[in-house]
A and B are shown apart, each in its own frame.
Chain A
Amino acid sequence: MSMIRSAVREISLNLHSKPGARLVTLLMVALAFIVFNTFLIISWNLQGLMDREESLIGMEVFLQRNISEAEGRVIGDNIGSMPDVKSVYFVSSQEAEALFRAELPGRTDLLDVMGSDFRLPTSLQVVFEREAMTQGRISDISRQISSIAGVDEAVYGEDYLPGLLKTVTTIRRLVILLGIVLVSSISMVVFYTVRLSVVRRSLTVDIMRIVGAPSWFIRIPFVLEGILMGVTGSAGGLALAALLSKVLSSAVTHRFMPFSWMTLVILLGAVTGTVGALAGSYEKER
């Protein structure tokens, strides 16, 4: 118990000494996190846009008129088992007509003009895995599906989607890259701050050593200092990003990141702080 009390006192003594360097570090960590958070928010909003448009990220496969419903379903199953295909939905002629009437109520006269013998073609609504959504891959799959016997034509709706997908993919890669840069640079910053702290308190560290304090006891104030810098830095960055988001909300319609992402950001701060502090307080010998 006295050991813990003593350690706690060491921690508070450590935190009270010379807050200058720590403040600078905190600011750097927070600023780094603002940049990171901005990209997270962009990524999150593009993601939301994607989710809303997801129904369009698919392909309409029209079947030839001589294909029966049973045959159509077999073709659907075949397409369904292709790689990168998420789901296939069979739309019968009657369903197509019902959909037409529902979506274009003003143009039902077209159907009436065609007469009672006319039937809309049966089709398959194909939805792809999001990861597969690159321009090249879609063209590939499209060609593949078109060549299946019984398929009349494969059409995919919105032209801009592959572009959007590309942007989302790029942003996501950027976020990951930025995350890696963030983790390593913040670890370094914390590492040097903790090193500095160890040097500044070298008398205390020496005394702790010669009285036989275990290594964890000597290091824990410094490690906690690093964790604290990581957590408060990332939390501060989050708070500033939230403020920025609020200020800009009228100019740019967007959502802030979800709670789980915020937790992750704080966790990232804690982890980088810990890594930097553990390395910064490591002693080879003595």
Chain B
Amino acid sequence: MLLAGMSKLLVTMSDVRLSYGRTPALDKIEMEIRQGEFLVISGPSGAGKTTLLRLIWMGDKPDSGLVDVSGFRSDRIHKRELPQLRRKIGIVFQDFRLLYSRTVFDNVALPLQVTGTANRVVQKRVIALLARMGLSHRRNSFPHELSGGEQQRVAIARAMVAHPVILLADEPTGNLDPEVSREVVDLLLEINRGGTTVVMATHDPRQVPAGKGRFLFLDGGVLRGADRWTELDEKP
């Protein structure tokens, strides 16, 4: 936090508006994400958290306003440049989104393979990462043979294998029981300590210990300030 003032701006959203059909999913969003920070975006279901993250990885473009992610501008980016942007971003979902016909190793190797990384390098990096994540023994298993917590760790490994500058986690603990949830949050915090910017969307901000991150509260598509406890008091 102390460094926040000095560190580089990674994401900027200015006057961002996006609606699906008539009702706006996001309205007048102004926000910045700085390199190295751990940002928690909380808010009830339907608040627009997923949509906000989609704007960052440019799975959607705003109807108006501007999203800038590390120099990629939503108003200028060509669809051919999207893969380049995505390679700088790791994404983790509530439902893991693993490829169920591939082994753990192949799932984690995917981001490297689709960018043509040499096989030697892929082998080395994936094996090292699986070891660090405590998944070595699961290397040749298929996702359906794993527990939810293990599947999410595989998903996080896949998101991290290409060394992204920013990790987006959309309700990463949504399908996990409390104990495993805590482990996953700890893993995200550890990744953040390693220098990767982390943005976590969750309907339950209590998952992240106070003081470990910056909290934004989203409700009805509108950002409501930064302080988590006062916001929670207002919105039980």
Contact = CB atoms under 8 A, between A and B. Distances in A.
Given A3-B113, A204-B99, A286-B59, A209 B86 contact: yes
Interface in B119-164: 119, 122, 158, 162
Nearest to B161: A211
B111 A203 contact: no
Given A204-B99, A214-B83, A2 B113 contact: yes
Interface string A174-207: 0000000000000000000000000000011011
A215 B83 contact: yes
A20 B20 CA distance: 35
Interface string B94-118: 0001110100000000111111111
A263 interface: no
B206 interface: no
Given A2-B116, A286-B82, A211 B97 contact: no
Contact of A6 (B57, B98, B113): B113
B84 interface: yes
B163 to A, nearest CB: 12
B76 interface: no
B235 interface: no
Of B79, B89, B113, B116, chain A has the most CB atoms within 10 Å of the CB of B113
A3 B121 CA distance: 13
A210 B53 CA distance: 12
Interface residues of A, number: 23
Given A210-B91, A212-B83, A214-B83, A1 B118 contact: yes
Give the 10 A-B residue pairs with the shortest CB-CB distance, closest first: A213-B114, A212-B86, A212-B87, A3-B116, A6-B113, A211-B111, A212-B83, A2-B119, A210-B91, A2-B113
Interface of B: 57-59, 61, 79-80, 82-87, 89, 91, 97-99, 101, 110-119, 122, 158, 162
19 contacts: A1-B116, A1-B118, A1-B119, A2-B112, A2-B113, A2-B117, A2-B118, A3-B116, A203-B99, A204-B99, A209-B82, A209-B86, A211-B158, A212-B162, A213-B83, A217-B114, A283-B79, A284-B79, A286-B59
